[in-house]
Amino acid sequence: MVARIIPLRQERPRPPGSDIERAFQTWAPYVAGVAIRLMGRDQDVEDVVQDVFVEAMRTLATLRDPAREKAWLASVAVRLVMRRLRRRRIARLLGLAETWDPSWLQAPEADPEQRALLRQVYRLLDDFPANERIAWSLRYLEGEKLEDVAALCGCSLATAKRRISAVQSVIEEALHG
Amino acid sequence: MADLASKLKSAASRLEPGWSEAALQGLARETSRRLVRRRRVTAAVALCAGVLLLVGVVSLVRAPAGPRVEVASTGEVVVHDAPSVRTLVIDDAETRLEVVAGAARFSVEPQGPRRVVVLAGRVQVDVVGTVFVVERRAREVRVAVDEGVVRVSFDGVVQRHVRAGEVSLFDEAALAAGPAAERPNEPTAAGVEAAPRDTSAAEREAGVAGVVPSPAPGSRPTERSGASNPARGPKAGKKPQPPAPDAPWRDLAAQGAFDEAWRALQATTPRDEPDDLLRAADVARLSGHAAAAVAPLERVVERFPGDARAPLAAFTLGRLFLEDLGAPARAATAFERARALAPRGPLAADALAREVEALAKSDSKARALERARQYLELWPRGPRAAAVRQWGGVREE
């Protein structure tokens, strides 16, 4: 009897770049959502998403645990948004950029009350330094745990708490006061 | 508080891009294009950086370091930081230079019918157009060729051709004064073979150590003594004999023992003829007695103005005043004299350039500008044009 060896599963060789394409299809909407919430504007979101995946090009292929893709892409998005917010704040201080305008955020899915709340919050956030604003947004808009906020911001837990608290007190006073 | 947090999270969850499938695909394609562009840019930047690095390394390796002498196709000799290189003859037929001590890199452009000869003791290097280093060490003479070919002779007998990447070493027998250096103003048109010395072939060969490949341009050569044959002179390990205390100052100078030559010179007087006066000036200069070199050089200029070496003496005097004695005004006069003695000579351009520098340093700005313009009119692309422009304060047009 002649034994035939039949391969149980023959994997097709993956074309180059397939990891990044798959990751894009899977996570691009999520990254876009994070970017919109952190920036408080619809404009530039596509740029941020592209920047995230271009920067992710090298590292994504080396990630062994696919479950970490989401968290890792979020951390890249946070870093890039932080950079953009800092630049915008400096431009504002120099009189080269406008203050936050309600027309920047359409939020078609939100009801009128939610839209009013969001517009009020983003107008207030526009006056805070980027690192405080990002920490607060991650905690209250993204719903991240304090430990995750610290990790995403690249700071200690105490620093993350201090940044969140600095914004929270102003928001609370403005909304309740 | 909890109520506010809940409201905020709920409202924020409504903030989504709301992309259609087509919009997502379009963004994916655009991102892919950016990725390709980024890869290309990265590759191009890496390539440019690599090329720049390579160019930098090559230029570092090939960069002429230390004393160097350039001989232009016009016969003009420019000496950079090489006080121990002296010019014996410089005219339309021949440029004859001597390495009195130490090392110098020579860069010689093709000369046409003019001969360029470099002497180091009894070793003579005949040049056509090349870059090479001649070094007089304590116990040997070394000739290393970077580009082209030179013909190396010992006591007037051609030993071999040294090609690019090769080094020719001659042991200490080569350091003694040779007939070529003793007869600087008597070049022979027939070449080095026409100036044999009255010695046997074995004696003539005695100083040759051989040709060894150069490790790399710019790198230190392998130390080597070719005195493997006892008949070929003292062995490399043997300590060189100090010069005899009563040795004539000329022999001591030829061996590069300038301090001893200076002491010996104090007991005697150089002959009143250009060669001996120039040699005495070299001994004074190279033994650290710059001021004592002035008198013999002035003597050559004043007493023998018709001699072919008078312009050279005036030029050396100018360098002495400018570089060693801090007398730029006197240096300017000396350089002017060098030009007056040979207005069309090979030293004329260099003398005018140095005159501009001397005038600038003596605060004669107007004259410096005038001379600088003169230089730039005569030699707009001369090797010292940039320096002349700077010293003379000539603005770029």
Q: What is the pLDDT of residue A139?
A: 94
Cβ count within 10 A of residue A130: 19
Q: How far apart are CA B124 and CA B187, in angstroms?
A: 12
Say if residue A96 is exposed, middle or buried (CB neighbours under 10 Å; 0-12, 13-18, 19+): exposed
**Over residues B367-387, mean pLDDT:** 88
Q: What is the pLDDT of residue B229?
A: 34
Percent of chain B with pLDDT over 70: 77
Q: What is the pLDDT of residue B174?
A: 61
Name the more confident of B257 and B210: B257
Location of structure tokens 């745990």 = A145
Of B12, B30, B35, the CB nearest to A141: B12
Residue B385: partners with Cβ closer than 8 Å, 6 or more residues away: B375, B376, B379
Q: How far apart are CA B158 and CA B267, in angstroms?
A: 38
The residue type at B113: P
Q: What is the pLDDT of residue B343?
A: 87
Q: Is A170 on the interface with B (CB under 8 A)?
A: no
Name the more confident of B182 and B378: B378
Q: What is the pLDDT of residue A175?
A: 84
Cβ count within 10 A of residue B20: 9
Q: How far is B28 from chain A (nearest CA, A)?
A: 7
Ranges A12-26, B21-35, B153-167, B361-375, most confident: B361-375
Q: Which residues pair with B68 in a beta bridge?
A: B80, B105
Predicted confidence (pLDDT) at residue B240 exceeds the cutoff of 50: no
Q: Of B5, B4, B12, which Cα lies nearest the Cα of A176?
A: B4
Predicted confidence (pLDDT) at residue B360 exceeds the cutoff of 80: yes
Q: What is the pLDDT of residues A40-74, one digit of tens each?
A: 887 888 899 998 988 877 677 676 676 788 888 99
Ranges B32-41, B64-73, B215-224, most confident: B32-41
Q: How far apart are CA B160 and CA B242, in angstroms?
A: 31
Q: Of A89, A91, A77, which Cα lies nearest the Cα of A152?
A: A77
Cβ count within 10 A of residue B8: 22
Predicted confidence (pLDDT) at residue B336 exceeds the cutoff of 90: yes
State the Cα torsion B343-B345-B350-B356 to the nearest 10°: 0
Q: What is the pLDDT of residues A154-169, one digit of tens each?
A: 999 999 999 999 999 9
Residue A17: partners with Cβ closer than 8 Å, 6 or more residues away: B32, B35
DSSP class of residue B320? I
Ranges B159-173, B260-274, B287-301, most confident: B287-301
Kind of pairing between the strands at B149-154 and B157-163: antiparallel
Q: Which residues of A touch B31 (CB under 8 A)?
A: 24, 49-50, 53-54
Residues 46-85 of A with CB under 8 A from B: 46, 49-50, 53-54, 57
| Prediction ipTM score | 0.78
Q: Is A147 on the interface with B (CB under 8 A)?
A: no
Predicted confidence (pLDDT) at residue A117 exceeds the cutoff of 80: yes
Determine whether the interchain pair B27/A28 forms a contact, defined as Cβ–Cβ distance below 8 Å: yes
Q: How far apart are CA B143 and CA B333, in angstroms?
A: 37
Name the more confident of B247 and A114: A114
Q: How far is CA B4 from the centre of its chain?
A: 82
Of A28, A117, A143, the CB nearest to B24: A28
Max CA pair span of chain B: 116
Predicted confidence (pLDDT) at residue B339 exceeds the cutoff of 60: yes
The 3-state DSSP class for residue B150 equals strand
Q: Of B251, B92, B104, B84, which Cα lies nearest the Cα of B181?
A: B251
Q: What is the pLDDT of residue A141?
A: 92
Q: What is the pLDDT of residue B179?
A: 41
Q: What's the pTM? A: 0.42
Determine whether the interchain pair A143/B30 forms a contact, defined as Cβ–Cβ distance below 8 Å: no
Alpha-helical (H) ranges within B123-198 are: 179-182
Residues in chain B whose Cβ is within 8 Å of chain A: 1, 4-5, 7-12, 14-19, 24, 27-28, 30-32, 34-35, 38
Cβ count within 10 A of residue B50: 10
Q: What is the pLDDT of residue B61?
A: 65
Residue A111: partners with Cβ closer than 8 Å, 6 or more residues away: B14
Location of structure tokens 């530039």 = A44
DSSP class of residue A133? H
Location of structure tokens 């060969």 = B205
**Over residues B122-150, mean pLDDT:** 81
Determine whether the interchain pair B14/A114 forms a contact, defined as Cβ–Cβ distance below 8 Å: yes
Of A33, A57, A115, the CB nearest to B35: A57
Q: What is the pLDDT of residue B63?
A: 55
**Over residues A126-136, mean pLDDT:** 93
Q: What is the pLDDT of residue B48?
A: 92
Structure tokens at B168: 């020719």
Structure tokens at B73: 């196709």
Residue A128 pLDDT grade (very low, low, confident, very high; cuts 50, 70, 90): very high
Alpha-helical (H) ranges within A40-68 are: 45-62
Mean of all residue pLDDT scores within chain A:
83
Measure CA of the first residue to CA of the last residue in chain A; give whole Å: 88
Q: What is the pLDDT of residue A177?
A: 63
Q: What is the pLDDT of residues B185-199, one digit of tens each?
A: 333 222 323 232 333
State whether the Cα torsion B25-B28-B34-B35 is positive or negative: negative
Q: What is the pLDDT of residue B175?
A: 60
**Over residues A33-37, mean pLDDT:** 92
Structure tokens at A76: 């890249």
Structure tokens at B199: 């010695």
**Over residues B232-251, mean pLDDT:** 50
Lowest pLDDT segment from A65-69, B25-29, B67-71, B269-273: A65-69
Name the more confident of A13 and A112: A112
Cβ count within 10 A of residue B139: 20
Residue B278 pLDDT grade (very low, low, confident, very high; cuts 50, 70, 90): confident
**Over residues A127-131, mean pLDDT:** 92
Residue B162 pLDDT grade (very low, low, confident, very high; cuts 50, 70, 90): confident
Residue B272 pLDDT grade (very low, low, confident, very high; cuts 50, 70, 90): confident
DSSP class of residue A155? S
